[in-house]
Amino acid sequence: MTFDYDLFVIGGGSGGVRAARIAAGEHGAKVALAEEDRMGGTCVIRGCVPKKLMVFASSFAETFGEARAYGWDVTPAGFDWRAFRGRLDAELDRLERAYRAGLDTAGVTVFDTRATVADAHTVRLADGATVTARHILIATGGRPFLPDIASAAGALTSNDIFRLDRLPESVLIVGGGFIACEFACILNGMGVKVTQFYRGEQILRGFDGEARGHIAEHMREAGIDLHVGCDVIEMERVAGGTRVTATNGHETVHEAVVYATGRVPNTDGLGLEATGVRLGRKGEVVVDEWSQTAVPSIYAVGDVTDRVNLTPVAIREGHAFADTVFGARPTRADHTLVPSAVFTQPEFGTVGLTEEEARDLGPIEVYATAFRPMRSAFAGRPERAMMKLVVSAGTRKVLGCHIVAPQAGEMIQLAAIAIRMGATKEDFDSTVAVHPVMAEELVTLRKPVRTG
Ligand SMILES: Cc1cc2nc3c(=O)[nH]c(=O)nc-3n(C[C@H](O)[C@H](O)[C@H](O)COP(=O)(O)OP(=O)(O)OC[C@H]3O[C@@H](n4cnc5c(N)ncnc54)[C@H](O)[C@@H]3O)c2cc1C
């Protein structure tokens, strides 16, 4: 049987673009890719990249304050959102062009349109045309979930924040995951009055308990009006914003409301179930360790599979798929010991097991410290950094590392290499400290603060 293409990729985000480029550019496959929106997907257009640029922009408020303590005569005139947004838009345009150029160089044919699956080897484009392929890769990612009550009241999602014409004076952020917490800190840093509701007991569910508490405390100290165990009951548009009635009995008005209560996989109307592809409860594509679906010619990678929803993981999965199917190099994407960062202020870097998870698996020792970093202590600022190692009492291996500190994302990337290599607590101890830096605390933690 002959096909138009060896591979048709649906979705031009982190996973799809990597898979297409490796399959075509390195393994010589004839590849097409359909993207219905902007090339680059969530990470480049409405996720990691614009968010991190906003983190940088918002962190200057703190830096100006510190600069004065270090002898600089600085009086900032204020933050100009429009000026920043203009530069942000230009940067995203540049990145989008770079993604397109990469696909072009690899010889991938791009269809700027929505695509759906017609059968195991056929893709239907928005204009009704069909294209056949030996393999189809679903890399359609995810989107923010907006409950009915929120969409009826005109609430925003993370997608909308990057497109605001002006910053609101006050915002309510609903949600306690990493995206909600990051935007709470970003907007707070930009001078917006931020209230945050999270219906659970503590923000950042799934992360290390102590780190979660530490970050929540800092967010409150920084001026964020954070309420946990609190949700929205009613919302209505009123002059000047949205009136919100909360489960804590309070009624408040916020100029904008942002919902960041979760994301759902983009599988609606894709035609997958009719083809025999299995979907999970959230609508995620169910795949095996090779990212293969129940239909042998159809694979899926990235957020649409709802495994570990991070850009580097989607990229790994896309690359592993291309090597396996087109490079005769069977490769599974490894989902263990994935390091990650949460760009709250202060930042959080984490890898491996939380104390709570490790405790369930066997005896552990916990080494932890909290201290005022030299830079902020000198400036008279109250921030404390936290560093924590979770160690197996039996094997002495470091099972988890959790850092809340400026630049924690940078630190955790390096700690993750040692931990992946099976470093023991004694390996950390025998490593000479770099002085004076914050991370030296990681190799000078002498006594466990807890065992269990
Ligand atoms: C606000 C925010 C911040 C984030 N920050 C980070 C971070 O700091 N670090 C990190 O690692 N991860 C972060 N993430 C997560 C990261 O962005 C995702 O894990 C990653 O983008 C997933 O890549 P993907 O290829 O699976 O999907 P996506 O990047 O979502 O790409 C899917 C693409 O498919 C297209 N598409 C969908 N359906 C169709 C169709 N039928 N036809 C054609 N095209 C279609 C979409 O338009 C989209 O471009 C963040 C996410 C958000 C929302």
Distance of CA 185 from the midpoint of ligand 1 (Å):
22
Please, are residues 285 and 15 in contact by the beta-carbon 8 Å criterion? no
Task: Give nearest CA residue, ligand 1 atom 12.
Answer: 310
413: left (phi over 0), alpha (psi -120 to 50) or beta: alpha
Is the peptide bond between 296 and the residue preceding it cis, with omega within 30 degrees of 0?
no
Radius of gyration of the chain (CA): 24
pLDDT value of residue 127: 97
Probe residue for ligand 1, chosen from 39, 117, 140, 413 as the CB with the greatest number of ligand atoms within 8 Å: 140
Catalytic residues: 435
Distance of CA 137 from the midpoint of ligand 1 (Å):
15
Contacts of 123 (CB under 8 A, 6+ apart): 8, 10, 34, 115, 116, 117, 130, 131, 132, 133, 136
Q: Which residues line ligand 1 (CB under 6 A)?
A: 10-16, 34-37, 41-43, 47-48, 51, 114-116, 139-142, 158, 179, 266, 270, 302-304, 309-312, 314
pLDDT value of residue 362: 96
Instruction: Tell which atom from ligand 1 comes closest to the C-alpha of 269.
Output: 41
Probe residue for ligand 1, chosen from 35, 42, 95 as the CB with the greatest number of ligand atoms within 8 Å: 42
Please, are residues 170 and 225 in contact by the beta-carbon 8 Å criterion? no
Alpha carbons 180 and 368: distance in angstroms, whole number: 27
Task: Give nearest CA residue, ligand 1 atom 42.
Answer: 114
What does the block give as tokens for 52? 């991190």
Distance of CA 143 from the midpoint of ligand 1 (Å):
8
Instruction: Tell which atom from ligand 1 comes closest to the C-alpha of 144.
Output: 53
Task: Give nearest CA residue, ligand 1 atom 45.
Answer: 11
Distance of CA 347 from the midpoint of ligand 1 (Å):
22
What does the block give as tokens for 206? 């799934």
pTM of the model: 0.97
Alpha carbons 276 and 136: distance in angstroms, whole number: 13
Please return the burial class of 84, using the count of CB atoms within 10 Å of its CB with bins 0-12, 13-18 and 19+.
middle
Task: Give nearest CA residue, ligand 1 atom 26.
Answer: 302
pLDDT value of residue 1: 85
The Cα angle at residue 262 between residues 259 and 268, in degrees rounded to 5: 110
Task: Give nearest CA residue, ligand 1 atom 50.
Answer: 47
Instruction: Tell which atom from ligand 1 comes closest to the C-alpha of 15.
Output: 25
Q: What would the 3-class secondary structure string for the chain be? A: CCCCEEEEEECCCHHHHHHHHHHHHHCCCCEEEECCCCCCHHHHHHCHHHHHHHHHHHHHHHHHHHHHHCCCCCCCCCCCHHHHHHHHHHHHHHHHHHHHHHHHHHCCEEECCCEEEEECCEEEECCCCEEEEEEEEECCCEEECCCHHHHHCCCECHHHHCCCCCCCCEEEEECCCHHHHHHHHHHHHCCCEEEEEECCCCCCCCCCHHHHHHHHHHHHHCCCEEEECCCEEEEEEECCEEEEEECCCCEEEECEEEECCCEEECCCCCCHHHHCCCECCCCCECCCCCCECCCCCEEECHHHHCCCCCHHHHHHHHHHHHHHHHCCCCCCCCCCCCCEEECCCCCEEEEECCHHHHHHHCCEEEEEEEECCHHHHHCCCCCCEEEEEEEECCCCEEEEEEEECCCHHHHHHHHHHHHHCCCEHHHHHHCCCCCCCHHHHHHCCCCCCEEC
Distance of CA 417 from the midpoint of ligand 1 (Å):
26
Q: Which residues are registered as beta bridge partners of 196?
A: 173, 226
Distance of CA 15 from the midpoint of ligand 1 (Å):
8
Distance of CA 377 from the midpoint of ligand 1 (Å):
38
pLDDT value of residue 77: 85
Q: What is the pLDDT along the chain (452 residues), one digit of tens a residue?
A: 899 999 999 999 999 999 999 999 999 999 999 999 999 999 999 999 999 999 999 999 999 999 999 999 998 888 999 999 999 999 999 999 999 999 999 999 999 999 999 999 999 999 999 999 999 999 999 999 999 999 999 999 999 999 999 999 999 999 999 999 999 999 999 999 999 999 999 999 999 999 999 999 999 999 999 999 999 999 999 999 999 999 999 999 999 999 999 999 999 999 999 999 999 999 999 999 999 999 999 999 999 999 999 999 999 999 999 999 999 999 999 999 999 999 999 999 999 999 999 999 999 999 999 999 999 999 999 999 999 999 999 999 999 999 999 999 999 999 999 999 999 999 999 999 999 999 999 999 999 999 98
Probe residue for ligand 1, chosen from 10, 43, 338 as the CB with the greatest number of ligand atoms within 8 Å: 43
Probe residue for ligand 1, chosen from 18, 45, 48 as the CB with the greatest number of ligand atoms within 8 Å: 48
